[in-house]
């Protein structure tokens, strides 16, 4: 089917109080697994490509074109999203390639500078019909994100959304990027207050550190888009390691990357079901 606008996936989730999964692509096997998993679940999905991944590949274009092609060939709605872009130039490149949304991350800047930079990106993207996500609050390393003062204030979030005209907001509610254990303590009351205060969909970053039960609770409290990366990478890498231990003389990478791709596809199917349950 045609490439699906991110707004057409996240908007209904926001209105219908269910969640959609946004999974990060590192290499083509990830994109294939995510699309296959969504097709098996018969649910929409968002493929995400981060600035770090673009840097790993030397540029955004190769992995972007592969992901866009897979999205267009899928039997379920698939959007392609630029994740954690700190460079406006990379945003412009993604828009030119046909991405349906971008996440512009100026959260390291002081509040006023974050607003100004994000507003400029939003104006550019909206002229091209591209949906924009931004971040307010610190969703960083494990210790920082769990420090008592590191949370998104609902009043500030409302002011930020109004000033920047963003379409979605990633908020700091207790999760953290790159967690290897699923034991993050989410502030569900804060999620509910943010959902009540804001008109735009809420995005949960660092969801690899959140277990199934709390993912469901976070969606029930108001999260619409749920980003998961490290959890899938762990499964992918573990499967590769297991296959290489079992067949140490393997030379064909398809013999270990294929099973890893299948493992991730199955987990995407399962996670989409967790997020979509009402």
- How many Å apart are CA 4 and CA 126, to the nearest integer? 16
Comparing 145 with 125, which gets the higher pLDDT? Answer: 125
pLDDT of residue 150: 72
Q: Which residue has the higher pLDDT, 110 or 204?
A: 204
Angstrom distance (rounded) from CA 113 to CA 183: 33
pLDDT at 206: 77
Q: At residue 143, does pLDDT exceed 80?
A: no
Question: To the nearest whole number, what is the mean pLDDT of the chain?
Answer: 91
Q: What is the mean pLDDT of residues 122-127?
A: 98
Q: What torsion do the CA atoms of 83, 18, 75, 258 make, to the nearest 10 degrees?
A: 60
Counting Cα atoms < 13 Å in the Cβ hemisphere of 192 gives 6
Provide the b/e sequence for 144-157 (b: ≥16 CB within 10 Å): ebeeeebbbbbeeb
Give the three-state DSSP class for 86. coil
Between the alpha carbon of residue 178 and those of residues 63, 72, 210, 233, the distances in Å are 21, 29, 11, 10
Say how far residue 96 (Cα) sits from the centre of its chain: 20
Say what the pLDDT of residue 144 is: 39
Say yes or no to pLDDT of 67 above 90. yes
pLDDT of 152 > 90? The answer is no
Q: Which domains does the chain have, with CATH numbers?
A: 6-276 (3.20.20.70)
Q: Which of 144-153, 170-179, 183-192, 209-218 has the lowest mean pLDDT?
A: 144-153
In this predicted structure, what is the pLDDT of residue 51?
95
Q: How confident is the model at residue 151 (pLDDT cuts 50, 70, 90)?
A: confident
pLDDT tens per residue across span 28-62: 999 999 999 999 999 999 999 999 999 999 999 99
Q: What pLDDT is stored for residue 107 in this prediction? A: 80
CA 199-84-1 angle, 5° bins: 75
**Which residues are identified as catalytic?**
83
Tell me which range, 41-55, 107-121, 180-194, is most confidently predicted by mean pLDDT.
41-55
């Amino acid at each position: 089917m045609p490439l699906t606008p991110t707004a057409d996936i996240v908007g209904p989730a926001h209105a219908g109080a269910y969640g959609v999964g946004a999974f990060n692509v590192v290499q083509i096997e990830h994109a294939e697994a995510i699309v296959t998993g969504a097709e098996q679940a018969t649910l929409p999905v968002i493929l995400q490509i981060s600035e770090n991944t673009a840097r790993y590949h030397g540029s955004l274009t190769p992995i972007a074109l592969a992901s866009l092609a897979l999205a267009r060939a899928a039997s379920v709605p698939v959007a392609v999203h630029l994740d954690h872009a700190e460079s406006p130039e990379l945003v412009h490149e993604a828009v030119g390639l046909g991405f349906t949304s971008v996440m512009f991350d100026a959260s390291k800047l002081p509040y006023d500078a974050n607003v100004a930079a994000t507003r400029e990106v939003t104006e550019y993207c909206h002229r091209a019909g591209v949906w924009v996500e931004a971040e307010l609050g610190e969703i960083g390393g494990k210790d920082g994100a769990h420090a008592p003062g590191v949370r998104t204030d609902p009043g500030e979030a409302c002011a930020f959304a109004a000033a920047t005209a963003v379409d979605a907001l990633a908020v700091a509610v207790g999760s953290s990027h790159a967690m290897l254990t699923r034991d993050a303590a989410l502030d569900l009351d804060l999620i509910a207050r943010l959902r009540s205060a804001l008109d735009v969909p809420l995005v949960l970053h660092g969801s690899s550190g959140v277990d199934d039960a709390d993912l469901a609770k976070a969606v029930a409290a108001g999260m619409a888009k749920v980003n998961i990366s490290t959890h899938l990478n762990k499964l992918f890498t573990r499967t590769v390691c297991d296959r290489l231990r079992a067949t140490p003389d393997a030379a064909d990478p398809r013999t270990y990357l294929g099973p890893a791709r299948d493992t991730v596809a199955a987990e995407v199917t399962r996670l989409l079901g967790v997020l979509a349950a009402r």
